[in-house]
Amino acid sequence: MFNVADALRLVMAQRILCVGDLMLDEFVYGDVLRVSPEAPTPILTIKRSDTVIGGAGNVARNVMSLGARCVFVGVVGEDEAGGSARKALEEFKPAIDAHLVTDRSRPTTRKVRFVSEHYSAHLLRADWEVAAPVSGEIEDQLIEAAVTALPRVGAVVLSDYAKGVLTPRVVRAVIEEARKLDKPVIVDPKAHDYGVYRGATIITPNRKELSDHTRRPVTSNAEIAAAAADLARTLECGAVLATLSEDGMFLHVEGAEPVHVPAYPVKVRDVSGAGDTVVAALSTMLAVGADFEQAMRIANAAASVVVGKRGTAAVTPAELRARVLPAAALAAEEKIVFDWGIADERVREWRGQDLRVGFTNGCFDILHPGHVKVLAEARATCDRLVVGLNSDASVARLKGPDRPIQDVHARADVLAALEAVDLVVVFEQDTPLELISRLKPKVLIKGGDYRVEDVVGREIVEAEGGEVVIIDLLPGHSTSAIVRRSGNGAKAEARAVAPTAAKI
């Protein structure tokens, strides 16, 4: 029987190949307070902006976020946006192994969205792009990079945004080579002629695309089933997954009954990039051996997570587990946050209820009574306690290459199970300064091995009218001491066993 938790663990050993149209997504957020006197248009007072890798690059980000590695093949221009894209993907190494071909004849595709935060509405989108097929020389480089990577991946995603990277020649070369190696090919389609995708394993049109390319109505489930079956026969695909927005997803698999799954009842904040999340989840699940229906259900859950976030977003294993596990298992996992945007919203909700928010942080590698005492007393100073948790890479930098003993998911699970903890937020930096600056807690709590003046983030909290609280430590309890004792115990056991072994 397919087990989601086991599958998510297996994902970490997978590598996915993604070929497609890379772009930069910029979101400019602000408030609309008045209409322009020059024209009947709203004036957006800018508050902040975020720039992320988008398009096919967002598929790679989601593959990485789910715990797998991604080999990404795409095209950039010889421009500032291309340099930014290269730099951003370099920062994701080794999780994303990017092979970017430079095309001097076109700009790097860039989309800028202007968003009203108050109304949660997109006001305008500006695009920089050339939506024309790449040259034969560029095709050769793309095919070589993709075909070279194929033997070492578990699945292939063709992420087509119709910007010219996935030409018929590139698509056919990748699909044919993948079929020789028995690798599943997942297609997120945008081509004018779907015939180019013939032989793919599964194709994921939305409702309109399904109707347009089959020339059939797709209002009812029966109509969708007929259109999906027609498309599958025409393209010789193993399956068609129709994404239906707020109506969920519909799956046709040859020889099986069609399956419709409803969308999760969530507050939709932004649908940008949701399709990328769907194909990333499909590819990772198919790579670990899930069948089409199992993979679709996971993809549906993943999509429900990202549409609840702002901007082009990714989903984490913890968020996915929290969405698909039974309600009785969710209490602890609902507290764990990797996406700081979700933490922002949770803290904002608490403040709106006039609740006093506290913050403490640590590695919490092996939870011991000293930790429990500090966390319990920290919770007593506030109405809601946020715990900043160092990521695995952060712990290794602070404590040495042999730490952490437990990975971030295990450490977060244990913390979230404590009644004193209301939210666990993972941070990658060496200190929580950036996180504290963002959340602006009313109380900043640390253990008694710190002096008030040495507490990271003190100035930020005090400037906001908050306070720093130092809690006495419980003597005799230290993670480092536990690790040392464990190491000494293992050495003593080895010394005790060694003479016996010698006598044998």
DSSP character for 401? T
Nearest residue to 397 (alpha-carbon basis) of 371, 434, 359, 431: 431
In a domain, 331, yes or no: no
Residues 309 and 340 in one domain: no
Helix (H, G, I), strand (E, B) or coil at 54: strand
Q: In this prediction, what percent of the chain has a pLDDT beyond 90?
A: 64
Residues in the chain: 504
User: Which tens digits make up the pLDDT trace of 358-375?
Assistant: 999 999 988 888 889 889
Residues 168 and 313 in one domain: yes
pLDDT number for residue 439? 94
On the 0-12 / 13-18 / 19+ scale of CB atoms within 10 A, 40 is: exposed
User: Which tens digits make up the pLDDT trace of 20-78?
Assistant: 999 999 999 999 989 999 999 999 999 999 898 999 999 999 999 999 999 999 999 99
In a domain, 257, yes or no: yes
Distance CA 53, CA 63 (A): 13
Distance CA 351, CA 401 (A): 39
In a domain, 502, yes or no: no
Nearest residue to 418 (alpha-carbon basis) of 440, 385, 465, 464: 385
Stated as kind and residue range, the H or E segment containing 421 is none
- 17-21, 80-84, 399-403 — which is least confidently predicted? 399-403
The last residue of one of the domains, among 279, 296, 325, is: 325
Distance CA 233, CA 238 (A): 9
Residues 158 and 283 in one domain: yes
- 75-89, 243-257, 260-274 — which is least confidently predicted? 260-274
Is there a contact between 484 and 366 (Cβ–Cβ < 8 Å)? no
Confidence band for 272, pLDDT divided at 50, 70 and 90: confident
pLDDT number for residue 291? 92
Is there a contact between 439 and 344 (Cβ–Cβ < 8 Å)? yes
Nearest residue to 305 (alpha-carbon basis) of 65, 96, 121: 65
pLDDT number for residue 481? 59
In a domain, 82, yes or no: yes
CATH code for the domain in which residue 460 is found:
3.40.50.620
pLDDT number for residue 334? 76
pLDDT at residue 263 tops 50: yes
In a domain, 385, yes or no: yes
CATH code for the domain in which residue 111 is found:
3.40.1190.20
Model's pTM, two decimal places?
A: 0.67
> CA 392 → CA 124, 258, 407, distances in Å?
39, 42, 6
Nearest residue to 473 (alpha-carbon basis) of 388, 397, 376: 376
pLDDT at residue 228 tops 60: yes
Residues 225 and 367 in one domain: no
Phi, psi of 186 (to 5 degrees): -110, 125
Residues 243 and 386 in one domain: no
Amino acid at 103: D
Distance CA 238, CA 255 (A): 10
The last residue of one of the domains, among 306, 325, 344, is: 325
User: Which tens digits make up the pLDDT trace of 319-361?
Assistant: 887 777 654 445 566 789 898 988 998 999 898 888 889 999 9
Residues 295 and 374 in one domain: no
User: Which tens digits make up the pLDDT trace of 453-498?
Assistant: 889 999 999 999 999 999 887 665 565 555 565 654 443 333 333 3
What's the mean per-residue pLDDT of the chain? 88
Is there a contact between 478 and 370 (Cβ–Cβ < 8 Å)? yes
Written as one string, the DSSP assignment of 176-221 is HHHHHTT--EEEE---S-GGGGTT-SEE--BHHHHHHHHT---SSH
Q: In this prediction, what percent of the chain has a pLDDT beyond 70?
A: 90
Is there a contact between 152 and 122 (Cβ–Cβ < 8 Å)? no
In a domain, 488, yes or no: no
Residues 373 and 311 in one domain: no
pLDDT number for residue 283? 96
Residues 362 and 285 in one domain: no
Written as one string, the DSSP assignment of 341-364 is HHHHHHHHHHHHTTPPEEEEEE--
Residues 275 and 340 in one domain: no
Compare 498 and 264 and report the one with higher pLDDT.
Answer: 264
Active site residues: 276
Find the domain containing 239 and state its range.
4-35+42-325
Q: Per DSSP, which regions of 357-440 are E strands? A: 357-362, 384-390, 423-427
> CA 139 → CA 42, 70, 142, 146, 180, distances in Å?
43, 20, 5, 11, 20
Is there a contact between 370 and 360 (Cβ–Cβ < 8 Å)? no
User: Which tens digits make up the pLDDT trace of 177-205?
Assistant: 999 999 999 999 999 999 999 999 999 99
In a domain, 501, yes or no: no
Contacts of residue 345, Cβ cutoff 8 Å, sequence gap at least 6: none
Residues 276 and 376 in one domain: no
Phi, psi of 53 (to 5 degrees): -70, 130
Is there a contact between 269 and 143 (Cβ–Cβ < 8 Å)? no
Residues 367 and 465 in one domain: yes
Ordered strands of the 249-253 beta sheet:
96-102, 69-76, 15-20, 155-159, 185-188, 202-203, 239-243, 249-253, 259-261
Residues 344 and 254 in one domain: no
In a domain, 283, yes or no: yes
User: Which tens digits make up the pLDDT trace of 129-178?
Assistant: 999 999 999 999 999 999 999 999 999 999 999 999 999 999 999 999 99
Q: How many domains does the chain have?
A: 2
